[in-house]
Amino acid sequence: MQHDAINKRWFRKIGSAAAPKLQLFCFPYGGSGPGAYRSWQNHFGDQVELTGILYPGREARIADPLMIDIKKITASLLPSILPRLHRPFAFFGHSMGALISFELTRMLQAANKPMPSQLIVSGTGAPHIPERDPIHHLPDQEFMQAVIDLNGLPPEVLANRELLAYALPVIRADFTACETYEFDQQGGKIGCPLTVFGGSKDPLVEADDFEQWEQHAGDEYQLQMFDGDHFFIDTHRDQVLSCVQQRLDRVLVAA
């Protein structure tokens, strides 16, 4: 029973589907949780069930210790997600979520487990490119200003000192995880369709960094750029959702 409870802590249902043929796992960006995808719930109809991934140390898991290592987060998630991969599924991850969904796909591949029918990574450069300008080590005030400059905090958080005090360690832990991530060259290319979303005005990621994802793709690869900054998935939500739907439609037809 305790093991089942641990497994369930990772997952939050975002939207129900009457006749689901595909499960879309949504991996949040740093400092956030499954609520980042709440507005997606009514977009995909009755055939796609959305499940958000809840990282330790936030929302209902606030009592769980924060984790600052992408690979350790992924290794902790792996045994919990395996029982849920009994029907076709896809991964979507933005920024930190992109790295976690990518690493999880590699772990599934290495263990000869079911693979996503579509992996969509968004808002981060190719995994082999090291962080050029890390900020996770900055003093609190400088760190928060750097995050604000990225348009990374909603106004309600900035206006509320309690929320800001809660958010600071979570955001710093997530930036630490992303900025200290080291890509392991072993493992080969991804054995499932890979789609990359990028923002043309992203201050964190250069255009060439998005393009270099192709080095990690197998037979199917596509790059889709949006006219936005790092949080284009919010500012250009309808366009992003339309592109996600196009990728999933291919899976649904096959299913």
Catalytic residue positions? Answer: 95
Length of the chain measured in residues:
255
Could you tell me if 146 and 171 are in contact, meaning their C-beta atoms sit under 8 angstroms apart?
A: no
Element of type H or E holding 194: strand 194-199
Per the structure block, which two tokens stand in for 111? 């263990």
CB neighbour class for 184 (10 Å; exposed up to 12, middle 13-18, buried from 19): exposed
**What angle separates helix 2-9 from helix 70-81, to the nearest 10 degrees?**
120
Could you tell me if 44 and 248 are in contact, meaning their C-beta atoms sit under 8 angstroms apart?
A: yes
DSSP class per residue in 20-53:
-SEEEEEEPPTT--GGGGGGGTTTSGGGEEEEEE
Counting other chains too, the contacts that 129-132 makes at CB distance below 8 Å and 24 or more residues apart are 129/209, 129/212, 130/182, 131/178, 131/179, 131/180, 131/181
Could you tell me if 109 and 191 are in contact, meaning their C-beta atoms sit under 8 angstroms apart?
A: yes
